[in-house]
A and B are shown apart, each in its own frame.
Chain A
Amino acid sequence: MPKKNPYSIQLFLKFLPVMTIAALILLPIDGYATQLHAGSEGIITHQMGHIFFLFSMVVLIFTVTGKGLDKQKGWRLVQYSAFFFILWNLDAVTAHFFDNQIHAVKIENISLWKMKIITNNDSSLLAWFYYILKLDHLLCVPAMLFLYKGLSRLVDDQRQMMVKKESR
C-alpha cells in the first residue's frame, strides 16, 4: 500500500490563492459583478423613503404619547409637526405616484404665468387634484414651523428647570 503524503492538502491550500489569481488573469471571461439600477428603481426608492419617513413620524407620535410626553407643550408641538410631515409625505407619495410611477399626469409650461396639466384621460378632476398636490409646501412648512415652536418651548422649559434647580 502506497504511503499517504500528509502535506499534500496543505500544499494545495497554500497555492490556491496564487492559482486563482493566475487563472483570472490568464483565462478572462465576462463579469457581471454589479447590478444594474435602471428603469423605475429610482422613483420606487424615493417612494419607499417617503413611506419610511411617514412611518417614522407615526412611530414618533405614538412614542411621544406612550411616554406621556404629550402633556408637555413642547413635545405636543413636535407631535403636530410629525402629523404635518405625515400629511406632507402622503401628498408627496400621491403626487409622485401620478407623475413618476404611472405617468398619469404631465406638466407643460406654456409661459411664465401659465401651465398645462395633461392627464391621461383628460380628467380635469385629476388635474386639479394634482395641482393641489403640487402645493405641498403648504404642509411641510407648517410641519417645520411646529418643530421650531416645539424646540423653542423645550428650550424655555429646560431653562426654567435649570433656574429652579439653581435656586434650590
Chain B
Amino acid sequence: MTASYIPILAVDVLGSVAMVVIALVCLYKARILRNMDLDNAVFLYLLWISTGFTIFAISRAFGHILKQFLILTANTQTWHAISSYSGSINTASFMLVGLITIFFNQIWNINEKILSGRKKLENTHIELMDLNQTLEHKVVERTERLTSSEHKCRRIFEQSLDTIIVTDSEFKIIEINPAGITLTGYPRDEIIMKKMTVGSLFADPSEWDRISNKIGSDEYILNEESEFLRPDNETLLVLITGGIDYGAFGCAKTYHFIIKNINEKRQIEHQIAQTDKLAALGELSAGVAHEINNPLGIILGYAQLLLKLAPDHQDDLKIIEKHVLNCKTVVSDLLSFSRKGSTELSIVDINKVVDGVVKFLSNHSDFRNIEMSLNPYTGDRLNILGNEQELSQVMVNLVINACHAVDGKGNIDITTQKTGTDKILIMVKDNGKGIGKENLSRIFDPFFTTKPVGQGTGLGLSVGYGIIKRHQGDIRVKSSKGKGTQFIISLPADRTSDLG
C-alpha cells in the first residue's frame, strides 16, 4: 500500500520536539514543587518522574528526528547502525520511569509517615510551648504568691508587738524581731553576732533548764511564765510559747518562740487586787472605827468629868484619858484610810506642799545625817484640787518612812514632775534597805508594819493611800531589797486654773 509520508513525518518530528519542550517544562514545574517543600517525598518523586520523562523524551526525540533525517537523506544504513543505541536508551528511560512509578505507593506511604510525624512534632512543639508558657505563668503566679506570703510573714514578724525569736538547734538566736530587741534590751548585732542563746535572757538559769527540757520532751511549750533579765538589771515577767520546726526541703531544725511581756499586765492585776483588798479593809475599818468612836467619846467624856469631880484618882484618870485619846487618834486614822471623812478642797500647789514638808523635816534631829535633795518641776505651777493639810501629812509619812529605811543616814530624793497636761507626779526615793518582795503587797494594809512594836501603828501608809485615793490619785511603790525604795504619787492636775 502506498501512503503519504508527510503526516507521519510531521507528527514524528513535531511530536518529538513537543515532547522535549513539554518534558522540560514539566521538569521545571516539578523543581518548583520540590523547592516549595524539600521534605515532601511525593514532590521528590514527581521530580524523579519528570527527570525520567525528560530523558525519555530527549532520547526518543533524538532517535526519531535523526531517523527521519537519515532516511530522508538515504542514509538508512547509518540509522540501522545507531538505531539500536537510540532504542536502548529509550527503553532504559521509560523503564526508569516505570520503575519510579511502581514505588509511588511506598513513596506516598513514607511521605504520609513523614508528614504525620512532622504534624505530631508540630503539635508536640505547640503543646510544649503551651506547657512552657503555662509553666512560666504558674512560676510567675507562684512566685507572686510566695513573695506576698513572705511579705505577710515578714510584716507579721516585723510589726508584731510580741517578741518572735527563731533559734538554731542549739537555741542560739538567728532571728529576732524589733519587739524582741525592745523587750530584751540587747542590740540586734550583739544578739545575732555573738550568737546569744534564749537561755541567756532568763533571770534564773534553772528556769531555762526546766523549759528547754520540756521542749526537748514535748516538742513545745505553751504559756510558760518566767522572768527575763535585761542588761540594765531590770526583770520582766514574760509568757513564753515555743515549738520545734523540723524544716522543709532539707532545712536545719529550728525553734520558734513567741514571748509576751506580761509585766505591766501582772502589775495592773496586782494593783487591782491591792485596791480591792484595801477597799474591803477600808470598809471594815470604817465600820470598826465608827462603832468604837462613840464608846470612846463617852469614855473620854466621863474620864474628863471624873478628873474634875474626883481629884483623888487624878493619875489613874489621866492614864485613861491619854489612852482614850490615843485610841481616838487611831480611829481617826482609820477613818482617814477608809475615806469616810469629809475634807475641804482647794487649789494646792504641790511644789509648795513638798517644799514646806522638806523645810519642816530638815530641821528635825532624825534628819541630821540625811542628805535630802528636792528637785521641783520648774515649768508651770503644779496645781491640784485637794486638801493641803492631808497632802502634807502623806508627804511627811513618806519622808519619815524613808528616813527610817536609811536608818538615819543616807539620801532621800524628792522630785515633782508633770506628765502631759493632766498628771502630776511626786516621787520620794531613798537608798535604804528596801522592801522585801513578800512585803510589797502588804505595805498599804492597815496595821502592817515591819518596825518594832511601839515604834509605829502601821497606819501611816494606809492613811496616805486613803488620802491619795480620795484625791483621785494613785500611789505606787518600786523597791529592790538592799538598793532602796521609790514611792510615786500620781495626782490629777487642776485644769480650772489652766483655763482661768
- Give A residues with C-beta under 8 Å from B: 42, 45-46, 49-50, 52-53, 55-57, 59-60, 63, 66-67, 82, 109-119, 124, 127-128, 131, 134-138, 140-141, 144-145, 147-148, 151-152, 154-155, 158-159, 162
Contacts and interface: CB of A to CB of B under 8 A. Distances in A.
A49 B18 contact: no
Contact of A144 (B4, B19, B36, B100): B19
A49 B53 CA distance: 14
Contacts of B7: 135
A60 B101 contact: yes
Given A49-B91, A67-B108, A137-B16, A42 B8 contact: no
B208 to A, nearest CB: 74
Contact of A138 (B11, B29, B50, B90): B11
B382 interface: no
Contacts of A144: 18-19, 22-23, 26, 53, 57
Contact of A148 (B4, B12, B25): B25
Interface of B: 1-8, 11-12, 14-16, 18-19, 22-23, 25-26, 29-30, 32-33, 36-37, 46, 49-50, 53, 57, 71-72, 84, 87-88, 90-92, 94-95, 97-102, 104-105, 108
Contact of A155 (B3, B33, B88): B33
Contacts, number: 135
A76 to B, nearest CB: 15
Contacts of A136: 15
A52 B92 CA distance: 11
A114 to B, nearest CB: 6
Name the prevailing secondary structure of the B interface residues: helix
Contact of A46 (B14, B22, B91, B102): B91
A141 B19 contact: yes
B30 A131 contact: no
Contact of A137 (B12, B50, B88, B104): B12
Nearest to B33: A155
Given A116-B2, A127-B3, 12 more contacts: A53-B95, A56-B102, A59-B104, A63-B104, A118-B1, A131-B1, A138-B15, A140-B19, A144-B18, A144-B22, A144-B57, A155-B32
Given A137-B12, A137-B16, A147 B26 contact: yes
16 contacts: A49-B92, A52-B95, A56-B97, A56-B102, A60-B101, A60-B104, A113-B4, A114-B2, A116-B1, A117-B3, A135-B11, A137-B18, A141-B18, A148-B29, A154-B33, A159-B36
Contacts of A152: 29
Given A110-B2, A114-B2, A50 B94 contact: yes
* Interface pairs A-B: 7 shortest CB-CB: A137-B15, A56-B98, A56-B101, A127-B1, A151-B29, A115-B5, A53-B98
Contacts of A151: 26, 29-30, 33, 46, 50
Nearest to A46: B91
